[in-house]
Amino acid sequence: MSFRLNDRAIEVRWSKGSCGQSGCADQECVCALCAKPIGVAEEILEQNNHDPECFGCEMCYDQVPIMLFRGEGKDMLQAAFHDRCFKSLCVVE
């Protein structure tokens, strides 16, 4: 399966790299399309007694961002997306 990005690709805000923490609200770490944090911070999962073995409830649904990269070496930029945001960006061919 291959895909290309649709016209919404111009809305993507590329970042120099995220800290990699789930639920982080920093500019460089949020979703490159909707600008909301991706995933849920660990302490919030703990507060909600989330099962660490779980891989499918609403809380962990967005834990793993979809990443795109462009450029090379120190000029490399990345963009992280929620699954649903990424889907709204691409045209599957």
Least distance (Å) from Zn ion to the CB of residue 32? 8
Which residue in 6, 8, 9, 26 binds Zn ion (CB under 5 A)? 26
Which of 8-16, 51-59, 69-77 is the region at the interface with Zn ion (rule: CB under 5 A)?
Answer: 51-59
Q: 78 vs 22, 41, 44, 69, 91, CA distance in Å?
A: 16, 21, 26, 4, 20
Q: Are 39 and 65 in contact (CB under 8 A)?
A: yes
Residues in contact with Zn ion by the rule CB under 5 A: 19, 24, 26, 29, 31, 33-34, 54, 57, 59-60, 82, 85
